[in-house]
Amino acid sequence: MNIGSRSRGDKIFDIMNVVFFSLILFITIYPLYFMIISSFSSPDSINNGEVWFWPKDITFEGYKMIFEHEKIWTGYKNSIIYTVVGTSINVVLTITGGYVLSRKDLVGNKIFMFFIVFTMFFNGGMIPNYLLVKDLGMLDTMWALVIPNAISVFNLIIVRTFFQSTIPNELLEAGIVDGCSNWKFFLKIVLPLSRPIIAVMVLFSAVGHWNTYFSALIYLRDADLYPLQLVLREVLILTQAQEVMDSSLNGGLAELQNISQLIKYGVVIIASLPVLILYPFLQKHFVKGVMIGSIKG
């Protein structure tokens, strides 16, 4: 029997796989694609169901109104700063903490892990956290958004598992025999072998910081410190308020509703664009890092 030959059943199975996963891909991608084409299509065409795969009656009025908002660019700048600083802190603390906890020669390893995991299920709550941030003098500062979330226990466990699965004790013993210190072993051997998990942590942390708005809503009062997500939230609220005012004053609601719809689509695209740009550069490490970090508990 020719090993390379394929039966009719195998070919049907392959075709069904292609059809099934193509359908899943379409279901996943189409909503985002629809948001993109709707953000610069005529609202009347969208409401009439004329926009499906191509934009119609192209207009950039929604984007024009968004970028004319004076705080949009300030929010972008703030979000970039918070994301870069917060991600740097997250990655440094998570990688170093995960490596230390993965070492079998760490005294009290299991005790440390118990208390760390305990915080995943029990915490002080919003009010104690607010009082703590206030007592530390971090209200209305950038640090209120990056310090309280400096380490994610979930990410720490993934990194710890990655090191346990990837860095064998024999490698450490060989390094010690060659006179390698702990710091030198970590910097020269561990980090170069940890690029996949570092890429995963960068992506997880960056997306988390970029999308955050609840912490800013609680800890920030100065509008000049608002991240992009909070600014966009205010834009949407302001637009909805203008709709109500216009409806009650002169009844010219239709045009403003159309502009509001464009703004909502545009806001989604603007908020998602940086993450969509970042992901392709980290994709090749993403799957490998997550799989290795989740195999062994």
pTM: 0.76
According to the model, what pLDDT value does residue 165 have? Answer: 83
Residues 25 and 90 in one domain: no
Residues 91 and 115 in one domain: yes
Domain boundary residue, one of 59, 77, 109: 59
Residues 141 and 18 in one domain: no
Question: Over the chain (297 residues), what is each successive 10-residue block's mean pLDDT?
Answer: 65 90 89 83 76 80 76 85 93 92 85 87 84 90 90 89 84 81 86 86 87 88 87 72 53 57 76 76 63 51
Specify the CATH number for the domain of residue 172. 1.10.3720.10
According to the model, what pLDDT value does residue 35 have? Answer: 82
Domain boundary residue, one of 42, 59, 76: 59
According to the model, what pLDDT value does residue 91 have? Answer: 94
Residues 285 and 186 in one domain: yes
- Residue 273 has phi, psi (to 5 degrees) of -60, -50
Contacts 24+ apart (CB under 8 A), 51-59: 59/262
Contact 186, 163 (CB under 8 A): no
Residues 121 and 169 in one domain: yes
According to the model, what pLDDT value does residue 88 have? Answer: 94
Chain-centroid distance of CA 128 in Å reads 26
Residues 40 and 149 in one domain: no
Contact 95, 247 (CB under 8 A): no
**Residue-range definition of the domain harbouring residue 46:** 1-59
- From CA 279, how far away is CA 275, in angstroms rounded? 6
**Number of domains observed in the structure of the chain:** 2
Residues 70 and 199 in one domain: yes
Residues 156 and 215 in one domain: yes
Residues 142 and 234 in one domain: yes
According to the model, what pLDDT value does residue 251 have? Answer: 46
- Using the CB atoms, write b or e for 123-153: b if 16+ within 10 Å: eeeeeeebeebeeeebbebbbbbbebbebbb
According to the model, what pLDDT value does residue 259 have? Answer: 67
